[in-house]
Amino acid sequence: MSIDNGFEKEESTREIQTPEGESPEVKNTGGRKPGRKYRNPLARLYDEENLSPELRRSLTFILIGNICGALTGYVCFSSSSALVTLAASLGAKDLHYGIISSFGYIATVLAIPYSMLVNRTHKRKKYMLTFGLVSRALWLLMGFIPLVVPASPEFLRIWTLIFIIGASSCLGAMIQVAWFPWFGDLAPESIQSRFFSFRDVISSVVGILYGLFIAWLLDTLPENNRYLIVFLIGSIPGIVDMICFAFVKEVYASEPAKLNLFKLIKDEILKNRNFLVFVLMYTLWIFGSQLGNVYFVPYAMNVMGITHMQNMIFGTCAASLATLLMAPRWGRAIHLFGAKNVLYLAGFIGSLTPLFYWFAVPKSVIPVFLYNFAGTFFFCGVNICMTTMQISNTPAATRATYLALLSVVSSVIGATLGSLAGGAFLDITEARHLFEAGFVDRYKILFTIGTLIRLAVIFFLVPRLKTDSKKTVWDLAGWLNPFKRKNI
């Protein structure tokens, strides 16, 4: 049974130079003999650019590492049901969830000095295997908090959790600074969006099984050692993620240089209109997203009363299934129609999906399923757009610093303020007894505000991004229409 994964091979008109005695056909298939019928989508993607075996191996290790990092997110990231319920057991309030989510983003201010260090030393691999590895190893400590930290005073346990997350985040700020520009220098731009979509598909397939296993552990293990076991298991893939980069070829698009940050900002970054528009768009999108994203799982579990397994099946697994179905198609769509058109369409429809929570009632899993499946169906396309645009809107020579500044602005203003604003809104409305009874509750109001902000971004800021395709969003819609597919 074959699966259409969106990586259709295109004919190349380039002349292929091959060593003496080796046929062009063999060279173009990565050393495999011509006539072999099955070639996996990743190998086919590599073949389009005629990548060397060393480069193929490096990209494959990046793929494995990214998948392992995604698995750890099922347990250790702020939106995971494991971390949400651990925080609840430690006495977390609504604002604490905002702090837990935002504390990690605040640490991204370190991305700027980190990026300057990377530009000056060219030691990305070394930093990934030190800063990154210790950052991920700290996650091992989370499960010990209920066992070793005293319950009195009552704030001690929750702030211990926040401190561990903050320390991990301060070290982990190096990860994005190091690996993302590394990937940008390593992989040809023409395969990047499809590589990310392939990564997301594999992560989704593996993540469904892994997530169900974690949910089963959370629902069945005794409460006294539940989190110890789950966080030990959950942190291991994150450690493997970092180790994978030991086997990745370290390449740079420019020579080592000591950057004058203020001069770079004044003479180059502030004059780069495309980048500044992208920063504004990306930051406001993150702000609108974080207003509600932090609180979807707490709302579903603490207010609606669904179980870990229900949240995993109708939340995480539904999202993974949607990614599996659409990530390859979105990657292909970006390749054919440009990221801007995909962002228009996917961003607009995806922004409406939090409104499914207006139909939320206790014990109902239908709104959880509809939001996670339909939302991810479109948001996975938005995420691939945002990822590829970060590369396309930054120059290779100073990309690490550009991305560090983007990370700082979007994290502090977008994610941190968004998370804290959402938590403050919930705490203030609760204290003043607003939206307490009946159909309209304070969470639904918050989710709607986030929707309106993201729609404003789509209508007012996305049109200002640089055009990367002559085709239109209507061409894209026609191509996606299963009843009227255009030939591209």
CATH number at residue 192: 1.20.1250.20
Give the C-alpha separation, 360 to 348, whole Å: 22
Query: How much is the pLDDT for 31?
Result: 46
Query: How much is the pLDDT for 293?
Result: 86
Residue 34 falls within a domain, yes or no? no
3-state secondary structure of 365: coil
Question: What pTM value is reported for the model?
Answer: 0.68
Residue 1 falls within a domain, yes or no? no
Give the C-alpha separation, 213 to 469, whole Å: 43
Other CB atoms within 10 A of residue 89 CB: 15
Residue 40 falls within a domain, yes or no? no
Nearest CA among 416, 418, 318 for reference residue 371: 318
DSSP-derived letter for residue 331 is: H
Taking phi over 0 as left and psi of -120 to 50 as alpha, with beta for the rest, 363 belongs to left
Q: Count structural domains, the chain.
A: 1
The domain containing residue 149 runs over which residues? Answer: 54-250+262-480
Taking phi over 0 as left and psi of -120 to 50 as alpha, with beta for the rest, 305 belongs to left
For tokens 């983007």, name the residue. 406
For tokens 């993974």, name the residue. 320
Q: What is the dihedral of CA 236, 242, 246, 248, to 10 degrees?
A: 120
Residue 98 falls within a domain, yes or no? yes
Two structure tokens written together for 111: 């991305």
Q: Enumerate residue ranges in the chain where pLDDT < 70.
A: 1-39, 78-79, 257, 259, 437-438, 484-488
- State the chain's maximal CA–CA distance in angstroms: 80
Q: State yes or no: cis peptide before 153, omega within 30 of 0.
A: yes
Q: What angle do CA 26, 29, 31 make, to 5 degrees?
A: 55
Residue 23 falls within a domain, yes or no? no
Residue 357 falls within a domain, yes or no? yes
CA atoms within a 13 Å half-sphere pointing along the CA-CB vector of 230: 34
Query: How much is the pLDDT for 437?
Result: 64
Whether 72 and 234 have beta carbons less than 8 Å apart is answered as yes
